């Protein structure tokens, strides 16, 4: 019977050491894991449903995986009587420092608070529409994030959360009082039915129909009268044209008359010498009149005597008028002998 060959202890030890080395190399080479880095634990409070978010779900920043979800629970706040879902995640230490832009060890604890002040917030995203799995998306958002809850156990940094567009729309729809809207619509429908059934509306529609009929008849009458009005306007325009022609002819006649007047007043024409001779005769007559009106002439002396006699007659008439004004009855009874003579006004 042949003896069994015993295994060499050296060979067994070498095999075990090789297996351990291969395992260590595999763990080191496994992508997405840094086994010798100290992770940064963070907590994010979501107020809505996180169905589809599981442990191990990725935490990404603009598409780059920076950590994983490690714990999901439900938190009840007795002060506000509300529920929140804290999601714990571990971020890679190198990723956090890379986001901050610094690579010194003492800046690790200050990296996340600085990023949060700059607007870093967490939001749920969909990995696949088929499976409905979710992931946590970190990014800088312009809209303000939610209020920090605080007070979570342990040395954990809280990152504020922002609702997705669908969640925000859902929250708005939930805040709408649909019952009140339905009641308002029902009241509007009842009011519309009452208005339609009201006799005033029916009478108003009848009046409107009658008014429309009157308007149509008036339009027809205007159409019928439009032709005579147009013809009258045409006749008026023709009359205006004829009047314009007459005015033009009168202007032509005035122009010809002005030409004739210019011809008559021409210094070389026959009229001007005749006018000059007439003026000379008038001057001679004026000289004769001045000579006759001389102070030593008989005509002037006779005129002076006549003027004196007229003055005396006027004085006597004034005296008579003054006497009658003082004694009106003298015209019937005669003048009183003792009445003084009234001095005539001079």
- What pLDDT score was predicted for residue 283? 74
Asked, for residue 159, whether it belongs to a domain, the answer is yes
Nearest to 64 by CA among 117, 124, 122, 137: 137
Q: Which of 63, 61, 71 is nearest to 41 (CA)?
A: 71
Residue 98 covered by a domain: yes
pLDDT (tens, 9 = 90+) of the chain, 346 residues, equals: 445 566 677 777 777 788 888 877 776 665 555 555 567 888 999 888 888 899 999 999 988 898 999 999 988 878 878 888 899 999 887 666 555 555 544 444 567 788 888 888 899 999 888 888 999 999 888 776 666 777 677 778 888 988 877 776 766 776 677 778 888 888 888 888 777 777 777 777 777 788 888 788 877 777 776 667 677 777 777 777 777 777 777 777 766 766 666 665 566 666 667 667 777 777 777 676 666 666 566 666 676 777 777 777 777 777 767 776 676 665 555 555 555 554 544 4
Q: What is the DSSP string of 27-76?
A: HHHSTT--TTS-PEEEEEEE-S--TT--TT-EEEETTEEEEEEEEE--EE
Residues 85 and 162: beta-carbon distance below 8 Å: no
Determine the pLDDT at residue 246: 73
pLDDT in the model for residue 345: 46
| pLDDT (0 to 100) of residue 337 | 56
Burial classification of residue 66, based on how many CB atoms lie within 10 Å of its CB (0-12 exposed, 13-18 middle, 19 or more buried): buried
Q: Domain end: 174, 201, 231, which one?
A: 174
- Is residue 217 a part of any domain in this protein? no
Distance CA 186, CA 180 (A): 10
Determine, yes or no, domain membership for 135.
Answer: yes
Predicted local distance difference test score (pLDDT) of residue 315: 76
| 128 within some domain | yes
Query: What is the reported pLDDT for 1?
Result: 44
pLDDT, position 39: 73
Residue 105: the pLDDT is 46
pTM of the prediction? 0.43
* CA gap 69, 91 in Å, rounded: 9
Q: Which of the listed residues 111, 144, 174 is the one where a domain comes to its end?
A: 174
Query: Is there a domain that residue 108 lies in?
Result: yes
Among residues 112, 111, 91, which one has the least CA distance to residue 38?
Answer: 91
Number of domains present in the structure of the chain: 2
Q: Answer whether residue 287 is part of any domain.
A: no
Q: What are phi and psi of 13, to 5 degrees?
A: -65, -40
37: nearest Cα among 85, 122, 98, 117: 98
| C-alpha span between 36 and 107 (Å, rounded) | 18
In this prediction, residue 21 carries a pLDDT of 81
Assigned domain for 326 exists: yes
Q: Containing domain of residue 304, as a range?
A: 299-330
């Amino acid at each position: 019977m042949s003896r069994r060959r015993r295994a060499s202890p050296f060979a067994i030890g070498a095999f075990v050491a090789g297996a351990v080395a291969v395992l260590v190399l595999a763990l080191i080479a496994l992508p997405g894991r840094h086994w010798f880095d100290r992770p940064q634990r963070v907590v994010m409070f979501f107020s809505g449903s996180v169905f589809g978010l599981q442990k191990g779900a990725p935490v990404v920043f603009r598409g780059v995986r920076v950590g994983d979800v490690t714990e999901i629970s439900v938190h009840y706040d007795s002060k506000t009587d509300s529920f929140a879902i804290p999601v714990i995640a571990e971020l890679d230490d190198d990723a956090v420092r890379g986001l901050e832009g610094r690579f010194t060890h003492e800046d690790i604890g200050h990296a996340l608070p600085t990023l949060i002040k700059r607007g870093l917030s967490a939001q749920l995203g969909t990995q696949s529409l088929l499976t409905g799995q979710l992931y946590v998306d970190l990014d800088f958002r312009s809209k303000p994030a939610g209020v920090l809850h605080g007070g979570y156990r342990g040395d954990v940094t809280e990152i504020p959360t922002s609702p997705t567009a669908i969640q925000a729309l859902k929250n708005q729809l939930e805040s709408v009082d649909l019952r009140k809207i339905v009641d308002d619509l029902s009241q509007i429908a009842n009011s519309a039915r009452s208005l339609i059934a009201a006799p005033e509306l029916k009478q108003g529609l009848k009046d409107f129909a009658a008014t429309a009929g009157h308007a149509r008849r008036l339009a027809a009458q205007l159409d019928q009268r439009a032709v005579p009005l147009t013809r009258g306007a045409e006749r008026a325009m023709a009359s205006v044209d004829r009047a314009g022609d007459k005015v033009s002819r009168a202007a032509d006649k005035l122009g010809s008359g002005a030409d004739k007047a210019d011809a008559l007043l021409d210094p070389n024409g026959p009229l001007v010498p005749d006018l000059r001779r007439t003026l000379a005769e008038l001057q001679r007559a004026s000289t004769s009149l001045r000579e006759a009106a001389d102070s030593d002439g008989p005509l002037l002396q006779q005129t002076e005597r006549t003027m004196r006699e007229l003055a005396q007659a006027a004085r006597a008439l004034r005296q008579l008028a003054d006497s009658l004004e003082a004694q009106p009855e003298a015209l019937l009874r005669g003048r009183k002998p003792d009445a003084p003579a009234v001095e005539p006004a001079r």
